[in-house]
Structure 1
Amino acid sequence: MTTFIYEVLKELYDKNENLSNITFILPSKRAGVFLKHQIKNVSNKTIFSPKIISIEEFTKELSQLKLISNTELLFEFYSIYIDLTKESNQDNFETFSKWAQIILQDFNEIDRYLIPPKQIFYYLNAIQEINHWSKQENKTELIQNYLSFWNQLFDYYTQFSEHLINKHIGYQGLIYKEAVSNIESYIQNNSDVKIIFLGFNALNKAEETIFQELLQSGLAEIYWDLEQTFYENPIHDASLFIRNYYQNWSYYKSNQLKWISNNYIQKKNISIYGIPKHIGQAKQIGSILKDLTNTKLNLSHTAIVLSEETLLLPVLNSLPSSIDALNITMGMPLKSAPIASLFEKLFYLHKTSYKSFYYKDVISILSHQNISCLFETDDKSKVSEIIETIQINNLVYLNKEQLNTLCKPFEEIIDILFSSWENNAEKALNQTINLVYKIKSCLEKNKKEQILTLEYLFRFNELFNELIRLNSIYSHLNSINTLFEVYKNLLSTETLDFKGEPLEGLQIMGMLESRVLDFETVIISSVNEGILPSGKNHNSFIPFDVKLQYNLPTFKEKDAVYSYHFYRLIQRAKNIHILYNTESDALNGGEKSRFITQLELEGLHNISHYLVLPNANPTIKKLNQIKKDDLVLARLKEIAEKGFSPSSLTNYIRNPIDFYNQKILKIREYDEVEENIAANTLGNVIHNTLEDFYKPLEGKQLSIENINQMKKMVDAKVTNHFKEFYKEGDITKGKNLIVFEIAKRYINNFLNLEIEELNNGNQISIVAIESDNRILVEIEELNFPVYITGKVDRVDLYNGMTRIMDYKTGKVLQNQVEVIDWEELTTEYNKYSKSFQVLCYAFAMFKDHKVQLPIEAGVMSFKNLSSGFLKFAKKESPYDRNKNTLITEETLQCFEIELKKLILEICNPEIAFIEKEIK
């Protein structure tokens, strides 16, 4: 394939131009590398390399100004802003930085397009005065300050420009403006220079002026790269700028346009892929490359052009292993580095000067991959142990002293991470630098494995040192919030640049890096509206109509720029793969670019369309089944000998897989910090408080005096048990305080119910509180003993009738402790789990000879205390009003049959643990 650069060099060589004496000026440095490489293909003898520079370098040479970063520019502008603005109207640096960046962009545009600043700023001020009724006598203070700001814009611009020029620094627009001022001097002092402008398209007014001056003086020539197909179409945006230059530049009244080629109409293989999401596009790029390598295509003439920089990492991870040479032109955004999240978390942690830290923030920092290595002892990190301690003790908020105690002997690391930044930027930056060095020393132990992370760390070290330098010079960073805003601004522009051989292997680049370069095979990603082209985003203080009046670029010109880059990229290519995102839920996603539609409507090429979808076969959820092998059966024998509890049996009824996980595998639930008191904690507190009250009264008759004594101790007992279960969790505020008060209310309501019963003449004697039971269940079919265990909350005599009472802090209704069909007792969890439990307790106490039949058993529901003691009952049908609440020997015999059937099922080696589908 013949490239544009080669064509230009060949023409110059054929005209006997001395290439060594030519200065080549290109849109980017990247193109210069390829130009230097092509010289050897044109010249048949050894020559000195010509001077090859980018337009940015050339304008800096002309202006004698040094380009500074946007962040430093912001600091310089704030100094001018402070000097020119009344103290009462001054914004702090944090607020200033948010709007000043837009103002600086407008300054840049005004200078690049050589707009008379006084004229446009006065015009803008006049517009604002009209908008806010300037002739109205009574203006609010807000309107007066607003109009004052617009009135001062010209002063800000003038003072700022003079200030930068005096320091020999500048932003791009100012450098271009100064370059225009110095162009005549340059022409006079460099009359023997030969300049070639190569591959330009959209020029700003300053560039136009420089180019025309050099062309008219005879010092320069310019070679455009334009297709005849686009040039002859008066409405095709790809030719918009060059067509205007040919019509309007006086140079072209006596000179021909160099040059217009005819490559676009040549045969091309164009494939368009609609793919959902970024990752889908990355995977498809990998698939395309795999096919290319299989066809032995030279990847040195292949380019992947990423319209979105966020696709870089997914694409790198999707490349086929057969690709051994790779050159990445675009840098990876530093904000995408894993360590960036660590510093962001630290800033969020220290933005407020609280003396304690929320546990989730602490855990998030301690468990970060670059921090956990700092807590290693004997090649084992202590972080998991620290996190477990936080969870067990319900430490919702932790201060630095607590962290030091938890993290011994790593107090130094805790000091770096959690010492207060005191809302001081200098201290914050020193702490972050100290942290960088600590992480560096830790990573260097495995240097080969951590080489990329160390590279990230080095770039962050540079970033923080730059912030320290800026703060030492300007002293505008007067709070952590301000520092964080500047840090984010600086981070968004920083990249981690890759090093590689630029002329070998597969090329990965952004759209702008592709300028002047040509490839046989091109893969372009994210060709969606809003991305390529970028759409109608208007980030400027200058209104659209004012931009039109002063010939400043609008979205129309930006679209034309994207159009030129897109078509120039494919005009010489033979194989073109265009990918777009089909997902409408993504930002700017779902709608394919107008460029794709244009390709289709032109009808010049055969285009293959593909809709690429993931190979997602519908998955039919299969309920899990676990067969009982020898190990499982051995474990079941252990459980049977120790004793099945009513809760474990109801757990099996609910879902056998849960029983398997909890009892066979001994998998317990993950301990989390209880920010708000959990239901089981509330239940434990109520149970233990009532045990404290009633345990001393075992064997005694209950009296009103007993209950009144209990009521006096409710607050102290509940508090004590909350501390026991909730550890160091705070119960003095928020939802926890509400739950704490609910616990006291439940207990007081229960005690009031007892008083009401006694006042009504009922006699209550306490038989047992928290009675432990363990009884043998004789099952002939099993060759090992089976026990049932259980702790009964309360057994009492109510007017001579024995009652077995189970406390429930949740809401239980009467129909939930009633049985109609005995066979459903061990199969219908939702209907009969409460009945099963109370019958278990009754069965165990009877078999243990602790009670004599008949008895009553039931539930005391603290959320339904108005219903009183909810007694177990046997009914013949759902509509049977004659329910039997007495538990007799016949009742227990019926229960025993079902209990044995359940235990036999659990222990049967032929019956697997089969998961139930729980709705």
Structure 2
Amino acid sequence: MKFLEKIVEDLLSKFSDLSNLNIILPGKRPLVFISKILKQNAYSGMLPQFLTIEDLIQDLAGKQHLQGVALHLFAYRVYQKVDNSEDFGGFLKWFPTLQKDWDDMLKFTDNDEKVLQWMLDEERIKNWGDDLGEEDNARKRNLNFWRKMNEFLPLLKQELNAKNWATSGMIHVAAHDKIENFAKNSNSQFVFCGFNAFTPIEESLVKNLLHWDKAICYFQADRYYIDDTRQEAGKFLREHLKWKEFNDHRSFNWIEDDFRQEKNINVYEVSGNVVQTKVLPKIFANIPIEDISKTAVVLLDENLLPASLDALTMVPNLNITMGFPLKNMSFSNAIKKLFYLQKQLEKKSSSYYYADVFPILQELPNSADDQKIVNEFISNIESRNIVYISAKMFDELLGKLSYFSLLKYPKDVIKYLDDLIHFCIDIKFRITDDDILYENISHFETTFKILKNQLQPYKIPIKIETLEVLINQLVNSESIDFQGEPLAGLQVMGLLESRLLNFENIILLSVNEGKLPLGNTQNTYLPFDVRKNFGLNTFLENDSIYAYHFYRLIQDSKNVHLLFNALSSGVNTGEKSRFITQIEMESSHNINHIVVDNASEPIIQELMCIEKTESVLAKLQEWKKSVSASHLTSYLYNPIDFYLRYVLKVRDTDEIEEELSVRNYGNLVHFAVQYLYEDLKNKILTLEDFKVLKDRVEASIIHAIETLNHQKEFYDRGMNYVHRQIAERVIRSILQYDEDLVKNGSSLEILELEKNVKAEFFINEDKTDSVMFNGFVDRIDRLDGVIRIIDYKTAKTKRLQIKSNSKKDREEQLETLFYNEDYKQALQLSIYKYVLQQDEDYNRNPLESGIWSFAEVNKGVAALDVVDFDDSEIEFAIASLINLILDPNVPFEEKEQVSW
């Protein structure tokens, strides 16, 4: 800590007792290092007082700082005297930005009302000679806005002063009039350490204290950017050099020449944001253990902290200064989703969208009793495929949940905050093994209490959406602070936390434009020219401040590693910071450029292969007791799927379908047609029957929906409504096709619907080994004396003709006939035909099997066409496939899925 050591050494040479000193720092972070250096210098007196310059200005002003929600509520009450037509939610959309602009006016100008009047006059000039009319438009809104602000802000200042309250800008103004007397009469000495930019009031305070010999200033400047007027890093320090207070009697301390000293600078071009952290282990492999405490990892993107910690597991001691943003933690996400749910209920409280509810229930910490209720609720909703949960069902299924009131739309915001507070208290004391979660919940508990205490006195009507904004304002600025040993090991910090500190090894991540510097990202209502004209900071001044922090950090270092994300994605342009380019072009340092290629060799995924062990063969023997045609077609599609589903009997997890799946679309038509024809089985159909059937189509669809355990509302909107209409059209087409057969003189009789059929099937010539076929035939009818076995399909028909290639390879073809996936429909029909041939009720008539495709419903039944083969040969081909499945030497191998 070269700079701090130099300060302490100089102070001890001037003062034997430091207790009367007030050391003013940019932040509290260096305090512990100063204390350590004092101890190393054998200082045994009382420690000096440590302050930030903001603390000093506020003490001087003598006003209570009002900020955050308290200021917003007070300001809104004042604003209602100017315009009482806008609710608090609308006020919050613009006031925080305006307040920052107003504080800038107060800090950097002599009179904030001049700026306000300028903005009003500018709007008047823009619209001079124009008739804005009575209609609402952007130009008229802007003019009215600044007209109101010229009345509102002076009134707000007046009412705040009456209570001795102040914003940060007002504190600067109040301190201004007291600076001269304070500097003249103070008995203390003030030491300003490591400052770069001051506001005018801060500058006046420092100058006055210097004038009366009550202050010492230590600047950490370097000739590289001080002497070169083109270097924006030295912009403010060059101005300080011109102060008349610095003369032969009182020198400007200090300007070093450290940046030009030899450095090892490495610039890493990395393809990806998180990928930057993967480079850290390689960098640390070249840093000796004894130099770890002289090393800092500076994160310009706070979101990289978790990934960085994962990558730094090899570092024995580590201290985190920056903290982890509260808004990125799991409990925070659950609360965010809870408020999103409430906003949805504000729009429509009659039902709950399942995707709004599930994440809340899954992410909030649940007791054992609550978890049981949650599991049952999710299982119930998934099994019934309920997308929109009615309020009644929601109450029935979750009513016993301990925090159920949080999921209901609140009638009173204060009561809702009470419920949130009690919920936090309840779960906080159940958590014993997760300190970070405990801290996360504790922060929210405090936030809810602050909001409740602030809201109650004002009696302002608050919507849930507004409450969410207030909570976000409090939470977004909060972070979980980590405890560590700041004097030993690696330091992980943000750029601002590095002020006054020096390290031999510096590693900066996310050195991209938009991160360093931030660029033109100011959130302000004041145009650039207005800010420039009145001396307010613009993005140019902010860039200069960041430039100074960057150069100051690396000027005393020996090894510098600068990593930037070269990948363009989202808001990231993949552009390295211009500060890197400046060093490359303007400095004399040799820079080593390293491209970290994130491209890797394609991952070779080995297809799954299951050997048929004794246990697998045993399960296959169980499978033989009930074999369906769909089992065999599943094997043809992918043997691993067959193994998992039908041998191991692994069930697919229930997933809610927001859009009707192909499978359930087919079921919808299946069940509806079954319902229609059920009462007409074993009856020759007449034209009168079809008139009745057509009138019952709507009822059949409702029956099918109930059979699927779906909600009727599921089909009332969007694509599901379209699917229902298509299903109805298919059903009517089936009825019309059958009716046309009867009209044309055919005799049609429905014999069975969803018929469960079983038959033993021998798989060897000796008929000593067999399987039991077991399945459901969608429809069996008799058309003009021919028994038809019909299988409904959603897909189009495929390869229903089976014929030999040639007499020469006929036997070989039979051996592997059904090994081809293209024949799976033909295989299914062949099995159904075989099973029905074993049934005495059907084998007396000619049998025909076919597919009725819903995709080609007007074509009717496409019959299985077996050419050149007799039934025994087809049965041999089926047996061959089954024997392949049972063959202990043929493993279950996953098929590579082809994507088009």
**TM-score relative to the length of structure 2:** 0.92
Change (3 A) 1:799 1:335: same
Given the alignment, which residue of 737, 745, 748 partners 1:764? 748
Secondary structure in structure 1 of the residue aligned to 2:511: coil
> How far apart, CA to CA, are the structure 1 residues paired with 2:65 and 2:485?
28
Equivalence map 1:401-550=2 (5 Å): 401-407=392-398, 411-422=400-411, 424-443=412-431, 447=432, 449-550=433-534
Aligned: 1:296 with 2:289: yes
Equivalence map 1:203-242=2 (5 Å): 203-242=198-237
Equivalent in the alignment of 2:834: 843
Instruction: Compute the displacement of 1:811 (Å).
Output: 4.6
Equivalent in the alignment of 1:201: 196
Residue identity in the other structure for 2:772: Y
Instruction: Compute the displacement of 1:368 (Å).
Output: 1.6
Q: Would you say the 8 A contact 2:764–2:770 is kept in 1? A: no
> How far apart, CA to CA, are the structure 1 residues paired with 2:21 and 2:31?
13
> How far apart, CA to CA, are the structure 2 residues paired with 1:374 and 1:563?
56
Equivalent in the alignment of 1:159: 155
Equivalent in the alignment of 1:800: 785
Secondary structure in structure 2 of the residue aligned to 1:197: strand
- Paired-residue identity, %: 31
Secondary structure in structure 1 of the residue aligned to 2:51: strand
Aligned: 1:650 with 2:643: no
> How far apart, CA to CA, are the structure 1 residues paired with 2:676 and 2:493?
76
For residues 712-750 of structure 1, the C-alpha deviation after alignment (integer angstroms, 9 at most, x for no partner) is 433334322321222445356214444444444333332
Aligned: 1:908 with 2:897: no
Given the alignment, which residue of 819, 842, 857 partners 2:849? 857
Equivalent in the alignment of 2:28: 29
Change (3 A) 1:576 1:702: same
Instruction: Compute the displacement of 1:852 (Å).
Output: 4.2
Equivalent in the alignment of 1:39: 38
Q: Would you say the 8 A contact 2:246–2:252 is kept in 1? A: no
> How far apart, CA to CA, are the structure 2 residues paired with 1:855 and 1:478?
74
Residue identity in the other structure for 2:312: L
Change (3 A) 1:620 1:527: same
Equivalent in the alignment of 1:62: 60
Equivalent in the alignment of 2:871: 892
Equivalent in the alignment of 2:51: 53
Residue identity in the other structure for 1:95: G
Change (3 A) 1:319 1:844: same
Instruction: Compute the displacement of 1:440 (Å).
Output: 2.0
> How far apart, CA to CA, are the structure 2 residues paired with 1:540 and 1:304?
32
Residue identity in the other structure for 2:37: Q
> How far apart, CA to CA, are the structure 1 residues paired with 2:124 and 2:891?
83
> How far apart, CA to CA, are the structure 2 residues paired with 1:141 and 1:861?
59
Instruction: Compute the displacement of 1:569 (Å).
Output: 0.9
Residue identity in the other structure for 1:159: L
For residues 353-398 of structure 1, the C-alpha deviation after alignment (integer angstroms, 9 at most, x for no partner) is 303211222222222251365615xxxx443333111111233333
Instruction: Compute the displacement of 1:66 (Å).
Output: 2.7
> How far apart, CA to CA, are the structure 1 residues paired with 2:222 and 2:681?
102
Aligned: 1:185 with 2:181: yes
Instruction: Compute the displacement of 1:291 (Å).
Output: 4.3
Q: Would you say the 8 A contact 2:352–2:389 is kept in 1? A: yes
Equivalent in the alignment of 1:885: none
Change (3 A) 1:78 1:754: same
Residue identity in the other structure for 1:185: N
Equivalent in the alignment of 1:667: 650
Residue identity in the other structure for 1:817: L
Equivalent in the alignment of 1:881: none
Instruction: Compute the displacement of 1:59 (Å).
Output: 0.5
Instruction: Compute the displacement of 1:82 (Å).
Output: 1.3
Q: Would you say the 8 A contact 1:303–1:509 is kept in 2? A: yes
Change (3 A) 1:170 1:32: farther
- Segments of 5+ residues of structure 2 without an aligned counterpart are 805-812
For residues 327-351 of structure 1, the C-alpha deviation after alignment (integer angstroms, 9 at most, x for no partner) is 3222321111210011111111112
> How far apart, CA to CA, are the structure 2 residues paired with 1:205 and 1:538?
20
Aligned: 1:337 with 2:329: yes
Equivalence map 1:69-88=2 (5 Å): 69-85=67-83, 87=84
Instruction: Compute the displacement of 1:832 (Å).
Output: 2.5
Residue identity in the other structure for 1:835: A
Equivalent in the alignment of 1:107: 102
Residue identity in the other structure for 1:49: L
Q: Would you say the 8 A contact 1:374–1:439 is kept in 2? A: no
Q: Which one is further off, 178-187 or 681-690?
A: 681-690
> How far apart, CA to CA, are the structure 2 residues paired with 1:183 and 1:21?
19
Change (3 A) 1:230 1:700: closer
Q: Would you say the 8 A contact 2:270–2:564 is kept in 1? A: yes
Aligned: 1:384 with 2:368: no
> How far apart, CA to CA, are the structure 1 residues paired with 2:876 and 2:350?
62
Q: Would you say the 8 A contact 1:332–1:496 is kept in 2? A: yes
**TM-score relative to the length of structure 1:** 0.90
Instruction: Compute the displacement of 1:323 (Å).
Output: 1.6
Equivalent in the alignment of 1:883: none
Equivalence map 1:453-852=2 (5 Å): 453-614=437-598, 616-642=600-626, 644-695=627-678, 697-728=680-711, 730-731=713-714, 733-734=716-717, 735-780=719-764, 784-808=769-793, 810-813=794-797, 816-821=799-804, 823=814, 825-829=817-821, 831-849=822-840, 850-852=842-844
Change (3 A) 1:770 1:291: same
Residue identity in the other structure for 1:917: E
> How far apart, CA to CA, are the structure 2 residues paired with 1:237 and 1:337?
37
Aligned: 1:8 with 2:7: yes
Instruction: Compute the displacement of 1:402 (Å).
Output: 2.7
Q: Would you say the 8 A contact 2:330–2:363 is kept in 1? A: no
Instruction: Compute the displacement of 1:266 (Å).
Output: 2.5
Residue identity in the other structure for 2:559: N
Residue identity in the other structure for 2:402: I
Equivalent in the alignment of 2:261: 266
Q: Would you say the 8 A contact 2:226–2:234 is kept in 1? A: yes
Q: Would you say the 8 A contact 1:274–1:582 is kept in 2? A: yes
Instruction: Compute the displacement of 1:500 (Å).
Output: 3.5
Secondary structure in structure 2 of the residue aligned to 1:807: strand
